[in-house]
Amino acid sequence: MTPARCPHQTPDARPCPLAERLDVARSRCERDGERWTEPRRRTYQLLVEAGRPVKAYDLIAAYKAPGQVAPPPTVYRALEFLLARGLVHRIESRNAFVACEHPETDHAPEFLICECCGRTEELRNDLNRVVREQARARGYVVRTATVELTGLCPACRAS
Protein backbone atom coordinates (compact mmCIF):
# COMPACT_ATOMS: atom_id res chain seq x y z
CA MET A 1 0.00 0.00 0.00
CA THR A 2 2.45 2.61 -1.17
CA PRO A 3 0.94 6.09 -1.00
CA ALA A 4 0.49 8.04 -4.20
CA ARG A 5 3.06 10.82 -4.14
CA CYS A 6 3.46 14.04 -6.02
CA PRO A 7 6.82 15.83 -6.16
CA HIS A 8 5.93 18.38 -3.47
CA GLN A 9 4.03 16.16 -1.05
CA THR A 10 5.33 16.24 2.49
CA PRO A 11 4.81 13.41 4.96
CA ASP A 12 1.91 13.87 7.33
CA ALA A 13 3.34 14.89 10.70
CA ARG A 14 0.41 13.65 12.77
CA PRO A 15 1.29 10.73 15.02
CA CYS A 16 -0.63 7.49 14.60
CA PRO A 17 -1.56 6.27 18.08
CA LEU A 18 -2.34 2.77 16.80
CA ALA A 19 -2.83 1.01 20.15
CA GLU A 20 -5.13 3.78 21.34
CA ARG A 21 -7.20 3.74 18.14
CA LEU A 22 -7.51 -0.05 18.24
CA ASP A 23 -8.63 0.13 21.87
CA VAL A 24 -11.30 2.74 21.07
CA ALA A 25 -12.59 0.58 18.20
CA ARG A 26 -12.63 -2.58 20.32
CA SER A 27 -14.45 -0.77 23.14
CA ARG A 28 -17.03 0.61 20.76
CA CYS A 29 -17.75 -2.85 19.36
CA GLU A 30 -18.04 -4.36 22.82
CA ARG A 31 -20.31 -1.50 23.92
CA ASP A 32 -22.58 -2.33 20.97
CA GLY A 33 -22.55 -6.05 21.86
CA GLU A 34 -20.44 -6.96 18.83
CA ARG A 35 -17.30 -9.08 18.65
CA TRP A 36 -13.95 -7.50 17.77
CA THR A 37 -12.71 -10.30 15.52
CA GLU A 38 -9.24 -10.65 14.05
CA PRO A 39 -10.34 -9.78 10.46
CA ARG A 40 -12.08 -6.64 11.74
CA ARG A 41 -9.08 -5.66 13.85
CA ARG A 42 -6.59 -6.30 11.04
CA THR A 43 -8.62 -4.38 8.46
CA TYR A 44 -8.99 -1.42 10.81
CA GLN A 45 -5.29 -1.58 11.73
CA LEU A 46 -4.25 -1.47 8.06
CA LEU A 47 -6.42 1.60 7.47
CA VAL A 48 -5.12 3.41 10.58
CA GLU A 49 -1.52 2.62 9.65
CA ALA A 50 -2.06 3.81 6.07
CA GLY A 51 -3.26 7.21 7.27
CA ARG A 52 -4.85 7.84 3.87
CA PRO A 53 -7.68 6.42 1.74
CA VAL A 54 -7.04 2.83 0.64
CA LYS A 55 -8.86 0.84 -2.03
CA ALA A 56 -10.32 -2.52 -0.99
CA TYR A 57 -8.03 -4.53 -3.25
CA ASP A 58 -4.98 -2.80 -1.78
CA LEU A 59 -6.23 -3.86 1.66
CA ILE A 60 -6.67 -7.41 0.44
CA ALA A 61 -3.11 -7.46 -0.93
CA ALA A 62 -1.66 -6.02 2.30
CA TYR A 63 -3.77 -8.15 4.63
CA LYS A 64 -1.25 -10.91 5.24
CA ALA A 65 2.43 -11.55 4.80
CA PRO A 66 3.91 -10.99 1.33
CA GLY A 67 2.82 -13.70 -1.06
CA GLN A 68 -0.36 -14.46 0.88
CA VAL A 69 -3.67 -12.78 0.13
CA ALA A 70 -6.82 -12.58 2.25
CA PRO A 71 -10.01 -13.82 0.63
CA PRO A 72 -11.87 -10.74 -0.69
CA PRO A 73 -15.13 -11.62 1.15
CA THR A 74 -13.26 -11.49 4.49
CA VAL A 75 -12.04 -7.95 3.89
CA TYR A 76 -15.35 -6.76 2.41
CA ARG A 77 -17.30 -8.14 5.39
CA ALA A 78 -14.89 -6.44 7.78
CA LEU A 79 -15.24 -3.15 5.87
CA GLU A 80 -19.05 -3.39 5.96
CA PHE A 81 -18.93 -3.97 9.73
CA LEU A 82 -16.50 -1.09 10.32
CA LEU A 83 -18.54 1.25 8.09
CA ALA A 84 -21.75 0.41 9.94
CA ARG A 85 -20.07 1.26 13.28
CA GLY A 86 -18.62 4.55 12.01
CA LEU A 87 -15.05 3.35 12.52
CA VAL A 88 -14.29 3.64 8.81
CA HIS A 89 -15.59 5.99 6.12
CA ARG A 90 -15.87 5.49 2.39
CA ILE A 91 -14.40 8.18 0.16
CA GLU A 92 -16.93 7.94 -2.66
CA SER A 93 -14.97 9.93 -5.24
CA ARG A 94 -11.91 7.70 -4.77
CA ASN A 95 -13.74 4.39 -4.22
CA ALA A 96 -11.55 3.99 -1.15
CA PHE A 97 -11.80 3.65 2.62
CA VAL A 98 -10.21 5.62 5.44
CA ALA A 99 -10.13 5.10 9.21
CA CYS A 100 -12.35 7.59 11.02
CA GLU A 101 -10.35 10.29 12.80
CA HIS A 102 -13.11 10.73 15.41
CA PRO A 103 -14.36 7.19 16.16
CA GLU A 104 -15.47 8.11 19.66
CA THR A 105 -18.46 10.08 18.28
CA ASP A 106 -21.26 9.32 15.84
CA HIS A 107 -21.14 11.76 12.94
CA ALA A 108 -21.52 12.16 9.20
CA PRO A 109 -18.05 12.60 7.70
CA GLU A 110 -16.88 15.57 5.68
CA PHE A 111 -13.56 15.49 3.86
CA LEU A 112 -10.96 17.78 2.34
CA ILE A 113 -9.18 15.96 -0.50
CA CYS A 114 -6.08 17.26 -2.28
CA GLU A 115 -6.37 16.80 -6.04
CA CYS A 116 -2.60 16.63 -6.42
CA CYS A 117 -1.22 14.39 -3.68
CA GLY A 118 -4.40 12.68 -2.45
CA ARG A 119 -4.02 13.86 1.14
CA THR A 120 -7.38 13.53 2.86
CA GLU A 121 -8.46 15.20 6.07
CA GLU A 122 -11.68 14.55 7.94
CA LEU A 123 -13.42 17.72 9.02
CA ARG A 124 -15.28 18.08 12.26
CA ASN A 125 -18.03 20.63 11.82
CA ASP A 126 -21.75 21.03 11.25
CA LEU A 127 -21.95 21.16 7.46
CA ASN A 128 -23.79 17.82 7.21
CA ARG A 129 -26.19 18.86 9.99
CA VAL A 130 -27.05 22.10 8.18
CA VAL A 131 -27.61 20.29 4.88
CA ARG A 132 -29.85 17.69 6.57
CA GLU A 133 -31.87 20.42 8.30
CA GLN A 134 -32.43 22.19 4.98
CA ALA A 135 -33.46 18.92 3.33
CA ARG A 136 -35.86 18.15 6.18
CA ALA A 137 -37.38 21.66 5.88
CA ARG A 138 -38.10 20.85 2.24
CA GLY A 139 -39.71 17.52 3.09
CA TYR A 140 -36.78 15.27 2.14
CA VAL A 141 -35.61 12.33 4.20
CA VAL A 142 -31.84 12.03 3.76
CA ARG A 143 -30.54 8.47 3.87
CA THR A 144 -26.88 9.16 3.13
CA ALA A 145 -24.80 12.30 2.85
CA THR A 146 -21.28 12.55 1.54
CA VAL A 147 -19.39 15.83 1.61
CA GLU A 148 -16.05 15.76 -0.20
CA LEU A 149 -14.36 19.08 -0.86
CA THR A 150 -11.51 18.86 -3.38
CA GLY A 151 -8.73 21.34 -3.95
CA LEU A 152 -5.06 21.74 -3.07
CA CYS A 153 -3.55 21.10 0.34
CA PRO A 154 -1.17 23.73 1.79
CA ALA A 155 1.95 21.84 0.68
CA CYS A 156 0.76 21.40 -2.90
CA ARG A 157 -0.52 24.97 -3.09
CA ALA A 158 2.84 26.30 -1.91
CA SER A 159 4.76 24.43 -4.61
Q: Residues comprising the binding site for Fe cation?
A: 107
Instruction: Collect all residues with Cβ–Cβ distance below 8 Å to 78 and sequence separation of at least 6.
Output: 37, 39, 40, 42, 43, 44
Q: How far apart are CA 33 and CA 51, in angstroms?
A: 28
Residue 116 per-residue DSSP state: T
Q: Which residues are annotated as a binding site?
A: 107, 114, 117, 153, 156
Residues 6+ away with beta carbon under 8 Å from 107: 86, 124, 128
- Give binding residues for Zn(2+) as ranges: 114, 117, 153, 156
